[in-house]
Amino acid sequence: MLVLGIETSCDETSAALVADGRTVLSNIIANQLELHRKYGGVVPEIAARRHTELIGYVINEALDAGGRTLRDVEAVAVTAKQGLVGSLLVGVAAAKTLSYMLRVPLIGVHHIEGHIFAGMLSNPELPLPHVCLTVSGGHTLLVHVRDYCKYELLGGTVDDAAGEAFDKIAKFFDLGFPGGPVIDRLATQGNRKAFHFPRPLLKAEANYFSFSGLKTAVINAFKSELASGETLPLADIAASFQEAVVDVLVTKAMRAAKQCGVSAISVTGGVSANRRLREVFSATCKREDASVYFPALSLCTDNAAMIAAAGQARLALGQADDMSLDVIPNVPLEVQHAG
């Protein structure tokens, strides 16, 4: 089955063709970074307008790159839940139009479910059940993936998401946007033991995260130096801050996996591209007889291939939407309660 995926929940306009939920024929991602950079973050109104300009183009590109035409599309999957309302609306309007025109099923997907499927799409050997840590600009979420589309929410952040902390720290030190990739690069030249920043909630048994306090601690430590124009050891700050985030993410995900009695961990979302996170996760899992799986870099950040894969799985379970499909900007992933 050939599924056309559409993702416009934030600032990436993406369309993809995925065959049988497994083979990515194309995955076109148009990002709008240049438009948002000068504001140091995504401006919802600008994002929605740009999606309207790009959506037709990325769908055509996805068809061309995949060597298919609209007539070959057998279902349309679109991110309908979790994201910026104006941005989501553009994708859902496009998906409904295509579904109606082509007379093929329409499937609305939760954005986080997409990230969970990015892990499975990249790693067909990833076992079920597993624990998935989704770390992005908007989320830090631990999910027990019991089976296809069957989830148990284990916990998440009580304030900032991990990616948000990277972005805010980078913005404060004027390093650029988005902050994650910049700090990732800069940290390779720094000493991660130069500063010891707090590891919020590290010891707490509950699967909750808090990154706001860490961000404030880092900012407060250097506020006066920055104001007095002193040269700051930015690479050391980046490396030490990143180490604190990585420490918390790895420790908590390993603990959650143990609680669930699983030995496989999938790490997804934009922050899963982070090199130090990958390194520490891999080393820790090797030591503790567990396995960690990361998506290919092209599937870490927002993309439509993961939405197509999730849509195909929902369709296989007999689930589809109709023309009443609406967007829901803020709603948790649907769960299946244990027992």
**Which residues contribute to the site for ligand KG4 (CB under 6 A)?**
10, 136-138, 163, 166-167, 178-181, 184, 269-271, 273-274, 301-302
Q: Per CB under 5 A, does 268 bind Zn ion?
A: no
Q: In terms of CB distance, is 115 or 255 closer to ligand KG4?
A: 115
Residue 14's DSSP bridge partners are: 7, 29
Q: How far is the CB of 205 from ligand KG4 (least distance, A)?
A: 26
Rounded to a whole number of angstroms, the minimum distance from the CB of residue 153 to ligand KG4 is 17
Indicate which of ligand KG4, Zn ion, none lies near residue 268 (CB less than 5 to 8 Å, by partner kind). none
Q: At a CB cut-off of 8 Å and minimum separation 6, what does 224 contact?
A: none
Least separation in angstroms between CB 248 and Zn ion:
20
- Biggest CA–CA distance in the chain, Å, is 64
Closest CB 36 distance from ligand KG4, rounded Å: 11
Minimal distance, residue 29 CB to ligand KG4, in Å: 9
CB-wise, 90 or 285, nearer to Zn ion?
Answer: 90
* Backbone φ and ψ of 242, nearest 5°: -60, -40
Q: Can you count the helices (H) and strands (E) in the chain? A: 10, 10
User: Got the DSSP string for 225-270?
Assistant: HHHTTPPP-HHHHHHHHHHHHHHHHHHHHHHHHHHHT--EEEEESG
**Residues 337, 119: Cα–Cα separation, whole Å:** 22
Residues 130 and 113: their CA atoms lie apart, in Å, by: 14
Distances (CA, A) of 89 to 24, 115, 138, 319: 25, 19, 18, 21
Q: Which does 166 bind (CB under 5 to 8 A by kind): ligand KG4, Zn ion, none?
A: ligand KG4
Q: Does 11 interact with Zn ion (rule: CB under 5 A)?
A: no
The answer to whether residue 136 forms part of the interface with Zn ion (CB under 5 A) is: yes
The runs of H, that is alpha helices, within 124-233 are: 162-172, 179-187, 212-227
Taking the least distance from each CB to ligand KG4, the nearer of 2 and 169 is 169
Nearer to ligand KG4, 150 or 278 (CB): 278
Print the binding letters for residues 289-308 with Zn ion: x by CB under 5 A, - otherwise. -------------x------
Residue 96 burial by Cβ neighbours in a 10 Å radius (0-12, 13-18, 19+) = buried
Judged by beta carbon distances under 5 to 8 A according to partner kind, the member of ligand KG4, Zn ion, none in contact with residue 44 is none
Residue 316 in contact with residue 21, Cβ under 8 Å? yes
231 Cβ partners below 8 Å, 6+ apart? none
Site size toward Zn ion, by CB under 5 A: 2
Residue 125 DSSP class? T
Cβ closest to ligand KG4, residue 136 vs residue 312: 136
* 13 lies in the site for Zn ion, by CB under 5 A: no
Which one of ligand KG4, Zn ion, none interacts with residue 272, CB within 5 to 8 A by kind? none
In the complex with ligand KG4, the residue whose CB is nearer, 84 or 260, is 84
Q: Identify which of residues 98 and 333 has a Cβ nearer to ligand KG4 in the complex.
A: 333
List of residues contacting Zn ion (CB under 5 A): 136, 302
